[in-house]
Amino acid sequence: MSLVVTGTVSIDTVATPTSRAEGVLGGSCTFFAAAASFFTPVRMVAVVGDDFPEHHARVLERFPAIDRRGLERRAGARTFRWGGRYRENMDQRDTLFTELNVIAERPPEVPPAFRDSRLVFLANTHPGVQAAMLSAFESPSLVVADTMDLWISTTPKELRDLLARVDGLVLNYDEAEQLTGLRNTVAAARRVLEMGPRFVVVKKGEHGCILVCRDKGAADVSIAALPAYPSERVVDPTGAGDSFAGGMMGVLAESVPAADAPRNGGRGPWPAFDTLRRACVAGTVVASFTIEAFSLDRLTTLRRGEIDARLEEYARMLRV
């Protein structure tokens, strides 16, 4: 089923306790699309400025399953830029700067050929832009969004309006607390479900993630807890969350028979909880590769066979 993502394509500067990468390719849309492309064709809709380096554009070309017709290079505009520094534990990070630049202007155009996309992922960007983008798709079967601290604090109203329109939300543990005022992950997730989505994935960095899903008509929720893949080589966690989402949505796009696609199709909500859980496993594993190098460096050399081998290893680790 056709998958589309919209979010940021960025020029990042990342510092870790032991090294630093300046002016590298990043962005929520970028990491998502690269990760999803291992599982399914993915359409990207984003905008960069005319300062976007040619060598970054060439990195994207190394992912043949990414359809880049929706990547606009806007004359006279500057690309979104972000800088972050990781603390000693490599799990917590401080944002050093966010230059919205082109993403504070009008949203990118959704190519007419993309308007029939059935799975829509609204990667991190201004929630007003996410909402405008969402309206451009004719009849999505599944809409999932991501958000982060900046938007929760600066655009709460737009974010709440958006949440009422999505089926799923992925966000970090800290952000779930910021959004709901609740420290307990499950309690926070339940509160998010009251805001609109049917499922929420709360990511907890090296501690994995928690999926909380409300089934149609069910009084209570289903919950799954998945550990992170225990990585020995963590060079740069940037993009782990977006890669997680890319793997998750990529598997959803590929694993669900078309007959299940319409919202429910009379057979209960789609995707089913078990499908979502399997999708989260794929997200966990792809993210574990992203963090092995700066930017998209690891993803550009990654092969599907390596993902499958690690999926098997991860499944063995989970056996109890």
Residues that bind ligand AMP (CB under 6 A): 8, 10, 12, 26-28, 82, 98, 124-125, 148, 150, 238-242
Beta carbon of residue 127, minimum distance to ligand AMP (angstroms, whole number): 10
Which is nearer to ligand AMP, 240 or 302 (by Cβ)?
240
**CB atoms < 10 A from the CB of 209, how many?**
26
User: Which residue's Cβ lies closest to ligand AMP?
Assistant: 26
The residue count of the chain comes to: 320
8 A C-beta contact, residue 240 and residue 32: no
Which is nearer to ligand AMP, 117 or 124 (by Cβ)?
124
**CB atoms < 10 A from the CB of 186, how many?**
15
Beta carbon of residue 176, minimum distance to ligand AMP (angstroms, whole number): 14
Which is nearer to ligand AMP, 12 or 177 (by Cβ)?
12
Tokens standing for residue 181: 């005022």
Which is nearer to ligand AMP, 152 or 256 (by Cβ)?
152
Beta carbon of residue 222, minimum distance to ligand AMP (angstroms, whole number): 25
β-strand 20-26 against 66-74: which pairing, if any?
Answer: unpaired
Taken in order 138, 125, 132, 185, the sign of the CA dihedral is positive
Which is nearer to ligand AMP, 80 or 273 (by Cβ)?
80
Q: What is the C-alpha to C-alpha distance for residues 178 and 185, in angstroms, rounded to an integer?
A: 11
Which is nearer to ligand AMP, 221 or 240 (by Cβ)?
240
Beta carbon of residue 88, minimum distance to ligand AMP (angstroms, whole number): 17
Q: What is the C-alpha to C-alpha distance for residues 141 and 256, in angstroms, rounded to an integer?
A: 11
- Give burial (CB, 10 Å; 0-12/13-18/19+) of 128: middle
Beta carbon of residue 240, minimum distance to ligand AMP (angstroms, whole number): 5
Beta carbon of residue 238, minimum distance to ligand AMP (angstroms, whole number): 5
In sequence order, the β-bridge partners of residue 5 are 44, 121
Measuring CA to CA, how many Å separate 216 from each of 53, 191, 213?
47, 17, 10
